[in-house]
Amino acid sequence: MTDLPVNDGAKTQAMNDMLADNWWAVALRGAVAILFGITAFAMPVVTMLSLVFVFAAFSIVDGVFGIVMSVRGARKGERWVWLLLSGIFGIAAGVVAALWPGLTVLAFVLLMAAWALISGTLMLISAFRLKIDHGRVWLVIGGIASIVLGVLLVISPFIGALVLTFWTGAHALVLGGTLLVLAYRLRSHRTGLPGNLAASGAA
């Protein structure tokens, strides 16, 4: 009866250690998100076609990083299914957008809404498998930001390219910032940098 909690605790610790070992991949995902946000705001002429291609590039690159982290975890015997699912769906959404650049505004908005809702939900699910001192709160913030974007797109599917660019750009900057902070927390936990020492002292 007492073996199950111990085994679950060991499994959770191993999964958290895997993420800490791959903090650099989390940081790269954050950097890519911020780059996407800056690009969205910096586009001189906001057109639906340009936004489609920028989103496609971001979604594919982000998905690749997610799959890489999942594969690295699998090699160590850990299964972060949420990373794999998020990566696969991100790549699929990016490929659809890239191969169908002439899709209608409504179709593109709904595609982005589905991507935001699914990725945000998977982030929230994964957050509860991450220890608080590893940066759980930042993963929660990122997941909530994605879900909020998805809900906004669902309830306002007929928005213009300018508003859509502002919403997606703002979301990308928030998401990227939270992932960078999460990466720092993970790296601090792995290497014992001041960020983790402070958290340990507070505990």
Q: What is the pLDDT of residues 153-166, one digit of tens each?
A: 999 888 777 788 88
CA distances, 55 to each of 112, 138, 152 (Å): 9, 23, 17
Q: How far apart are the first and last CA of the chain?
A: 29
Mean local confidence (pLDDT), 54-70? 86
* Residue 54 pLDDT: 85
What is the tens place of the pLDDT at every residue in 12-61?
666 677 777 778 888 998 999 999 899 888 876 666 778 888 889 889 99
* Residue 44 pLDDT: 60
Distant-in-sequence contacts of 2-7, Cβ < 8 A, 24+ apart: none
Coil/strand/helix, residue 47:
coil
What is the tens place of the pLDDT at every residue in 75-130?
655 556 777 888 898 899 999 888 887 777 788 888 899 999 998 998 888 787 77
Q: 0.85 exceeded by the pTM?
A: no
Assess contact for 62 and 101: CB atoms under 8 A: no
Let me know if domain 16-193 sits in CATH 1.25.40: yes
Q: Is the pLDDT of residue 172 over 70?
A: yes
Burial class of 183 by CB neighbour count within 10 A (0 to 12, 13 to 18, 19+): buried
Assess contact for 129 and 12: CB atoms under 8 A: yes
